[in-house]
Chain A
Amino acid sequence: MTDASLSPAAAPRAGLIATDARTRKRNAAEKRFRAYGICAIGVGLLFLVFLFTSILRSGLPAFTQTVIDIEFTVTQEQFDTAEGKMLKTKEYEKLFIAALEGQLQERGLEVAFDGKAIQRLVGKPGGTIRSYLQANPDRLGAPISFELAAASRVDGYLNGRITRDSLVDSRFLQASDLDLIDALQQADIIKGAFNWNFITGTDSGVDNPGGAGLGASVIGSFFMMLVVLFLSLPIGVAASIYLEEFAPKNRWTDLIEVNISNLAAVPSIVFGILGLAVFIQFAGLPQSAPLVGGLVLTLMTLPTIIISTRASLAAVPPSIRDAALGVGASKMQSVFHHVLPLAMPGILTGTIIGLAQALGETAPLLLIGMVGFVAREYPEGFLSGFTDANSAMPAQIYTWASRADPGFYEKAWGGIIILLLFLITMNAIAVVLRRRFERRW
């Protein structure tokens, strides 16, 4: 021990006010460490801000839509002719285009245009017109006011995705059409409107981004979550109560425990393959059905729920159990009357987090046929909601992102906003439950 710094003579005595070199060094290290921490948080926040701004910037246009606001009459005769054709919607589209052309000529717009140009501007109005007329046959022969979605390129021009400079003439849109759009906007025939259809509608064909909506796949996700909730909560809670409270501690329960933890780490696509093999090919359940999706996601959610339930059961102090047993309750009574109610907030939080995770899952759905043009109709009733082919929110977003028309890309981002809203709500509920009912001992 001849180290100079250790000898009391060499170390200058520092007072309470003056600091010596080593103290300064230690303080500096601490300051640096705090700075690293702030940097880390800052980088995280920066990513978050970047993520949110890019999501909002790309996604918000999906919530507005350019509509063509026009009043026109369909006569009984026109209706009968159209219904006699095979492609009825095309006939209504022609009627609509003719009406629009007529009105433009009446107003005397200064821009030259032809039927083809108008054809490029309108979206796919035929289906909407037909379903309206079928629902209201009494309106035939009277002027009906329609607000119909314009083509996605018109949308793109008005919200700045397509500019005059970047536009390359194609059969979808030509430079001369932009003047026509401007003129129509001046005449108040084309205007922006909130896109309710995006929230309530169903998926549409790839040539009709204006008609695409997330509604049907929200319903698909809802039915899947019902299946997940009603299967994974009881099974998960029952399994964890047994493992935590009743099961003997031996090699078998250890093995089960290890396997449950492993299961939680299995990639979700594996559950999709399992679902395809077991539920569809072996059990013969229908393809693309939310029931199968729910079953697959149940498998995926179970470990999460079991682990969180066991943790919250273990957090209930033994004194509660001892007291219950002490006043003569049976083991089961002590669990169900005392331990379980106290562990409930933790269990619910775990369940909601598990559900939120399942809600955002796409990979397993790929394999059971929920990706593609699937969410094209609302289910007819409650039971068929489980079995009718449907998509789910993340799967729908994935589908939209892979379509050629840039209009769908926008819809995909819009879908992400809606999905995030659901996830934030679910996580908020979990936080509130925890705050409100959590007990500390």
Chain B
Amino acid sequence: MSFVKLTTSALAISAVAATAAMARDQVQIAGSSTVLPYASIVAEAFGENFDFPTPVVESGGSSSGLKRFCEGVGENTIDIANASRQIRDKEIKACADAGVTDIIEVRIGYDGIVFASQTNGPAYDAFEASDIFNALGAKVLVDGAIVDNPHKQWADFNGDLPAADIVAFIPGTKHGTREVFEDKVLLKGCEDTGAMAAMIEAGMSEDDAEDACIDVRQDGVSVDIDGDYTETLARIDANPNGIGIFGLAFYENNTDKLKVATMGGVSPSTETISTGEYPVSRPLFFYMKKAHIGVIPGLKEFASFFVADEIAGGEGPLAEYGLVADPELGATQAAVEAEATIGGGS
């Protein structure tokens, strides 16, 4: 008999707990693992400086964060999705279908994407987008013809680069970083090497050629990393020839293990990224549900706090950690204040 009693009481406890849970009092955030560090810094400072509870920031990736964001409106859904890329039209539509119509987009700053390798590995000091494309593209231009990528060593296509085996650890497709890598490095390299023009000449449509350009070779030379930068670092640690893609902040935290390569002759730093000289950077965003403002205590205060000069400005803790401050932060602050949503109006 005692078991029946135990079971009933256990169920009763969970039932009580479940009803108590209905009123959520902290902001709930999920999404990009690139934005996560910044969001956690802001969340901690928010908890320390305000009387609201410290927000919860979960990891997972831009796409999965936005997917959860678009599940609907209500306390059982997240309030803010972090993203290392802009929300896609497809996602806005998915959101609208689930009733999430008023989305506030907030750009918090910029992040540089750097190519780094072991400090005592080969001298990977200077890359051009064309080098990366020649090394990692699925189909490249060799002697005027488009062929499956034959390159085994960097020196095979550029005598200035070391004669070391090509091994690259690039972010997997669920990362927002991958998209930037494809757009700003592979696609550019494809155009620069003339591969794209050759593909179009060979009868491909422009869209198909673009898709073919960002195809990464599948013969094991390029390794997709689905985890975060720590995993890339571990792989680089074990492989002296390896080149890895990191966020600027991560690299700066680990300068004793990693050396960075210039891209287009510019070495990455917060300065070169904010002036736009360093080519591979991308804006970071978070997306907020307007419907949750006033329902979840502290949500709007958190958003305003996040983009305040003291936090996201050039002297703030986010810049100290490696975020490149947004020169148009003032406009963002005003937009958050006015609760301006995507697609116009407030």
Not counting A86-B310, A206-B40, A373-B56, a sample of 16 additional A-B residue pairs whose C-beta atoms are within 8 angstroms of each other reads A86-B49, A89-B48, A89-B49, A126-B48, A167-B256, A204-B44, A205-B43, A233-B6, A286-B21, A295-B14, A373-B36, A373-B57, A376-B56, A386-B17, A386-B21, A389-B28
- Cβ B253 vs Cβ A404 within 8 A: yes
- 6 intermolecular pairs with C-beta atoms under 8 Å apart: A207-B321, A369-B30, A369-B56, A372-B56, A387-B20, A402-B229
A389 lies within 8 A of B48 (CB): no
Question: Is B45 touching A286 in the complex (CB atoms < 8 A)?
Answer: no
Q: Is the CB of B76 within 8 A of A404?
A: no
- The answer to whether B41 touches A205, judged by C-beta atoms less than 8 angstroms apart, is yes
Which chain A residues in 267-313 approach chain B with CB under 8 Å? 280-281, 283-289, 291, 295
B54 at the interface (CB under 8 A from A): yes
Residue of B nearest to A223 (CB): B17
For residue B157, CB closer than 8 A to chain A, the reply is no
Neighbouring B residues of A127 by C-beta, 8 Å:
44-45, 48
Is the pair B20, A230 in contact by a Cβ cutoff of 8 Å?
Answer: no
Alpha-carbon distance A172/B255, docked complex (angstroms): 10
Scan residues 313-339 of chain B and give those whose CB is less than 8 A from a CB of chain A. Answer: 317, 320-321
B16 at the interface (CB under 8 A from A): yes
Contact A383:B20 (CB < 8 A) given known A206-B321, A287-B76, A373-B44: yes
- A117 an interface residue at 8 Å Cβ cutoff? no
A263 to B305, CA, bound (A): 47
Measured in the bound complex, the distance between the Cα atoms of B256 and A167 in whole Å is 6
In the complex, what residue of chain B is closest to A370 when comparing beta carbons?
B58
Pick from A204, A291, A405: contact of B17, CB under 8 Å: A291
Asked whether any CB of chain B lies closer than 8 Å to the CB of A396, the reply is no
**Chain A residues whose C-beta falls within 8 Å of the C-beta of B4 in the assembled complex:** 238
CA distance A286 to B18 in the complex (A): 8
A374/B58 contact (C-beta < 8 A), A205-B44, A291-B21 known: yes
Interface residues of A in 396-425 (CB under 8 A from B): 399, 401-406
Choose one: B36, B48, B310; the contact of A372 (CB below 8 Å). B36
Interface bracket on A: 35 or more
B43 to chain A, nearest CB (A): 6
A10 contacts partner chain B, Cβ-Cβ < 8 Å: no
The minimal Cβ–Cβ distance linking B337 to chain A, given in whole angstroms, is 14
Known A-B contacts A369-B58, A404-B250; the reply to A377 vs B49 at CB < 8 A is no
Least CB distance, B301 to chain A, in whole angstroms: 10
The answer, yes or no, to whether B224 is at the interface (CB within 8 Å) is no
**Does B78 have its Cβ within 8 Å of any Cβ on chain A?**
yes
Return A175 CB to nearest CB of chain B, in Å: 12
User: How far, in whole Å, are A166 and B257 apart by their CA atoms in the complex?
Assistant: 9
A384 to B16, CA, bound (A): 10
Q: How far is the CB of A348 from chain B (nearest CB, A)?
A: 15
Instruction: Determine how close the nearest CB of chain A comes to the CB of B174; give it in whole angstroms.
Output: 13
Q: Quick one: CB contact mask for B1-38 with A, threshold 8 Å, 1 for yes?
A: 00110110110011011101100101010100100110
Binding site for B on A (CB under 8 A): 85-90, 126-127, 130-131, 162, 166-168, 170-172, 204-208, 227, 230-231, 233-235, 237-238, 280-281, 283-289, 291, 295, 369, 371-374, 376-377, 383-384, 386-387, 389, 399, 401-406
Q: How large is the interface on B (under 10, 10 to 19, 20 to 34, 35 or more residues)?
A: 35 or more
Docked-complex contact A373 and B40, CB < 8 angstroms: yes
A233 CA to B7 CA, complexed, in Å:
9
Residue in A170, A237, A284, A384 whose beta carbon sits within 8 Å of that of B76 in the complex: A284
Given A86-B308, A287-B76, A402-B230, residue A172 in contact with residue B253 (CB < 8 A): yes
**A288 and B7 contact, CB distance less than 8 A:** no
Most B CB atoms within 10 A — which of A87, A166, A230? A87
In-complex Cβ contact of A90 among B78, B255, B310 (8 A): B310
Q: B37 CB to closest chain A CB, in angstroms?
A: 4
In the complex, the chain B residue whose C-beta lies closest to that of A384 is B20
Smallest beta-carbon distance A149→chain B, Å:
14
* B330–chain A nearest beta-carbon distance, Å: 16
Whole-angstrom distance between the Cβ of B191 and the nearest chain A Cβ: 33
A400 — nearest CB in chain B belongs to which residue?
A: B230
* B253 & A288 in contact (Cβ 8 Å cutoff): no
**A371: B residues at CB distance < 8 A:** 58-59
A22 to chain B, nearest CB (A): 51
Q: Does B70 interact with chain A (Cβ within 8 Å)?
A: no
- Which chain A residue shows the least CB distance to B25? A388
Q: List residues 54-92 of chain B with CB under 8 A from any CB of chain A.
A: 54, 56-60, 71, 75-76, 78
Complex: how many Å from CA A318 to CA B141? 80
Nearest 5 Cβ contacts at the A-B interface: A205-B44, A373-B40, A372-B58, A387-B21, A404-B253
Q: Judge whether B17 and A168 touch: CB under 8 Å.
A: no
Task: Tell me if B37 and A206 are in contact (CB < 8 A).
Answer: yes
- The CA of A123 and the CA of B53, in the complex, are separated in Å by 22
Partner of B37, one of A172, A376, A377, A404: A404
Pairwise interchain contact A162-B76, C-beta atoms closer than 8 A? no
Q: Are B229 and A404 in contact (CB under 8 A)?
A: yes
Residue of B nearest to A385 (CB): B17
Structural contact, A291 and B308, CB atoms closer than 8 A: no
Asked if B108 is at the interface (CB within 8 A of a chain A CB), the reply is no
Tell me whether B228 is interfacial, beta carbon within 8 Å: yes
Which residues does chain A contribute within 8 Å of B48, judged by CB atoms?
88-89, 126-127, 130-131
Q: Which of B3, B45, B320 has the most CB of A within 10 A?
A: B45
Contacts of B264 in A (CB 8 A): none
* B172-197 contact mask (Cβ, 8 Å, vs A): 1 or 0: 00000000000000000000000000
